[in-house]
Structure 1
Amino acid sequence: MLRWLIALLILANLLMFAVARGMVGPLPAAGAREPHHLLQQVHPEALNTRPIHPEEAFDQPRVGGPAPAANVQSTPLGQ
């Protein structure tokens, strides 16, 4: 019984080796399966960058500076 199991596992490994090497045909991921995605790619030459002005950067963290104070209002609890 164990001999048949080992023989079956060896055959399965040989089959997967043949598939991985492309002996039974190309792998599905080898070709362009979705060519319409190539038309939707972002072209880096068309992107423009601009600096952020201080009024636009209110929620941006400042590296190396002090931590911003939290804008929290508190009132004493009533008992």
Structure 2
Amino acid sequence: MRDLRHRHPDADVRTPHLDWNEPRAALLDRRVDAVVTRLPLRTGDLRVTVLHVVVASRPASLHQPTGTWRCRCPYSSPGRSAA
């Protein structure tokens, strides 16, 4: 996160903690723009990008809401892949 903030000083980068059962709801009600979480997770109405990262032998994935979502980050867009 420090590197991301350094490379994009105008971006509003925050890393809020979510309880294990909050990621999907937080995305759908727009409390967060993206979530890195463990699978399984119900993915209806979400765009999922599987990351090539293994943490504690478990794959992670990036989730974003679908539709008219707009990131608050000036260097990202809904059509851009996170991979």
Does TM, scored on the shorter chain, surpass 0.5? no
The TM-score, its normalising length taken from structure 1, stands at: 0.20
> Whose strand proportion is higher, 1 or 2?
2
> Whose helix proportion is higher, 1 or 2?
1
The TM-score, its normalising length taken from structure 2, stands at: 0.19
Higher relative contact order (CA 8 A, sep 6+): 2
